[in-house]
Amino acid sequence: MIRHSHVCVSNIDGPLPMANSTSSRCGFLRGLLLLRAAFLTLLTIIMSSTLFAQDPAADFRTNCMSCHTIGGGRLTGPDLKNVTQRKDRAWLTTFIQDPKSVIDAGDPYAQELMKASRGVVMPTLPAMTRARAEALLSLIEAESKLEKSQFAGVQISERPFTPRDVEVGHGIFMGTVPLKNGGPSCISCHTVQGIKLFGGGTLAPDLTTVFERYQGRKTLATWLSAPATPTMQSVFKKQALEGEEILALVAYFQSTLARNPEDVSAERLNFILIGLAGALIVLGLFDVVWNKRLRTVRRALVQEKRLETINE
């Protein structure tokens, strides 16, 4: 008995160090997972930075072209043609790496750039290393020597927009006019004021005043030719808009500036009312089907009860 009791006590006491050991192993594994996640994140940043450094043209197209051209004139930011002749390379490298810090430090040239851009501050790009900035500047220098850079921006006609341009742009937005390269319609994600029934998509910003926000046709057209948002880049990288399609969309977005701001509230109210009406119809159909089924079951039970009573 004593021996058995001793074994039991040793069994009871035994798991305690095992629990501590298990807890230590769990903590160790958790630490390894965190280190692995941190390593993969760092590796991703390094690889993306290295990739862009190896292909500065892709870097410029992805991160710079929505605000800058090389020889195509000012957009939101300045034309970068011969920028290394206007400012020394060391300053430009520092500015590209962290524009906000240079502006906040009170640098006079950086302040002038911000003023010319109407207060828009150039964003700090993730994983922007000195090597990557140097590669971009080398690309800009090389492109500046060409008669026409590949980054001169989309060249759309400067002629006045016509009602036909607006009509085609509206069709492209709504999806009734298909895009030549097979891209999706704008209404899949966006809306503008004045669209009837459901009022367009709500996954992305309302584009009613996008013409004004992008300060006119040239900047908006350039943005549409090389969208800067990750979602738009992934969608239109291999399905780019044609020049005439961009012209029509810009004409349409100029026309939407005159829309009544109260239209949106009315459209949302219509959407809610349609939803409520649909719900009531479904509930009504459910009630009819359920009552019919209930009457059928009740009738069978009543008949069965009557037969039982007669047999008794």
- Output the six-digit token pair for 128: 């922007």
For the cut 90, the answer to whether the pLDDT of residue 238 exceeds it is: no
Q: Which residue has the higher pLDDT, 141 or 301?
A: 141
At 248 the pLDDT is: 95
For the cut 80, the answer to whether the pLDDT of residue 123 exceeds it is: yes
Three-state secondary structure readout of the chain: CHHHHHHHHHHHHCHHHHHHHHHHHHHHHHHHHHHHHHHHHHHHHHHHHHHHHHCHHHHHHHHCCCCCCCCCCCCCCCCCCCHHHHCCHHHHHHHHHCHHHHHHCCCHHHHHHHHHCCCCCCCCCCCCCHHHHHHHHHHHHHHHCCCCCCCCCCCCCCCCCCHHHHHHHHHHHHCCCCCCCCCCCHHHCCECCCCCCCCCCCCCCECCCHHHHCCCHHHHHHHHHCCCCHHHHHHHCCCCCCHHHHHHHHHHHHHHHHCCCCHHHHHHHHHHHHHHHHHHHHHHHHHHHHHHHHHHHHHHHHHHHHHHHHHC
pLDDT bracket for residue 52 (50, 70, 90): low
Q: What is the pTM of this model?
A: 0.55
- Which residues are within 8 A (CB) of 182 and not within 5 positions of it... i.e. 6 or more apart? 239
For the cut 70, the answer to whether the pLDDT of residue 46 exceeds it is: no
CB count within 10 Å of CB 211 equals 21
From the list 269, 164, 257, 245, the residue with the least C-alpha distance to 207 is: 257
Q: Which residue has the higher pLDDT, 21 or 283?
A: 283
196 phi and psi angles, rounded to 5 deg? -80, 175
Do 149 and 71 form a contact (C-beta atoms < 8 A)?
yes
Token pair 């012209």 is found at 247
pLDDT bracket for residue 21 (50, 70, 90): low
